[in-house]
Amino acid sequence: MVEQVARQPDQADPTGGAVVGAIVGVDLGGTKISAALADLGGRVLRERTVPTDRAAGGR
């Protein structure tokens, strides 16, 4: 759950007081590493999966 905090707009704030941010998720597995970047609404913006190098120490 993402908590959004209301605040007063600030002239020095380029977002005009809007809530901005991102969520990053990472899965470190035995056969692959996956990562995803999502906005605060849960929309996936980017994702990437790469195989784990099992010969270098994975089981």
pLDDT attached to residue 19: 66
pLDDT attached to residue 47: 96
pLDDT attached to residue 41: 87
Assign 50 a pLDDT band (cuts: 50, 70, 90). very high
Mean pLDDT on 32-59: 87
Q: Return the exposure string of 29-42: e unless at least 16 CB atoms fall within 10 Å of the residue's CB, then b.
A: eeeeeeeeebeeee
pLDDT attached to residue 23: 92
Answer whether residue 16 shows pLDDT above 80.
no
Q: Strand order in 32-39's β-sheet?
A: 22-28, 32-39, 44-51
Please report where in the chains the tokens 């002239």 appear, as a residue.
Answer: 11
Q: What is the mean pLDDT of the chain?
A: 78
The residue among 56, 50, 48 whose CA lies nearest residue 29 is: 50
